[in-house]
Amino acid sequence: MTQPLWLFGTCLTILADHTTTGGQYDLIEGYFPPGTQTPLHRHPRYSEQLYVLEGEFTVWAGKDKVVLAAGENFLIAPGIPHVVGVFDKPARGLVVAAPSSFARLIAAVGTLNEQEASDMALFERISAEIGDELLGPPGMLPNSEGNFHDSL
């Protein structure tokens, strides 16, 4: 379970999942190279708590934009459109997803090799099964109403 897996440019290690938490939460450690940004998405069925270990995360969540430094955290409630980006230098952080779902996606779609592309059809299928919704490509951000627009 603690094998690092690559998913869209980030290295993710599942530290705890439904098998060890009774389905209550997932705990994932992530390494994010500079220039990494998630696509605009939302998780209608679970919350996502981000905690920065090293570097900085920029988070756009609904109407909020926050820059988190080491030791800071941010809670993204279920259903909130959001993007997480790392820009100038690498960052490491923890993600707590509650209840457990996100680790299932990582385990199914993550690759052992950074250069190997993830299976997009599998990603879309597992995302749909756990209720995740992709709202746009990297570069698209939530706007001031919590919807989305096309710019960084």
Residue type, 94: L
Return the higher-pLDDT residue of 48 and 150.
48
Residue type, 124: E
What average pLDDT does range 22-51 have in this prediction?
Answer: 94
Give residue 135's pLDDT band: very low, low, confident or very high (50, 70, 90). Answer: confident
Domain boundaries, the chain: 5-85+108-131
Q: Per-residue pLDDT for 79 more than 80? A: yes
Two structure tokens written together for 7: 């998913």
Residue type, 31: Y
Q: Per-residue pLDDT for 105 more than 50? A: yes
The CA angle 146-110-58, to the nearest 5 degrees, is 35
The residue assigned the tokens 């209720």 is 131
The DSSP-derived string for 16-61 is E-HHHHTTS-EEEEEEE-TTEEPPSEE-TT-EEEEEEEESEEEEEE
The second-level CATH assignment, the architecture, of 5-85+108-131 is: Sandwich (2.60)
Q: Per-residue pLDDT for 141 more than 70? A: yes
Query: How does the average pLDDT of the chain come out, rounded?
Result: 90
Report percent pLDDT > 70 for the chain.
93
Give residue 69's pLDDT band: very low, low, confident or very high (50, 70, 90). Answer: very high
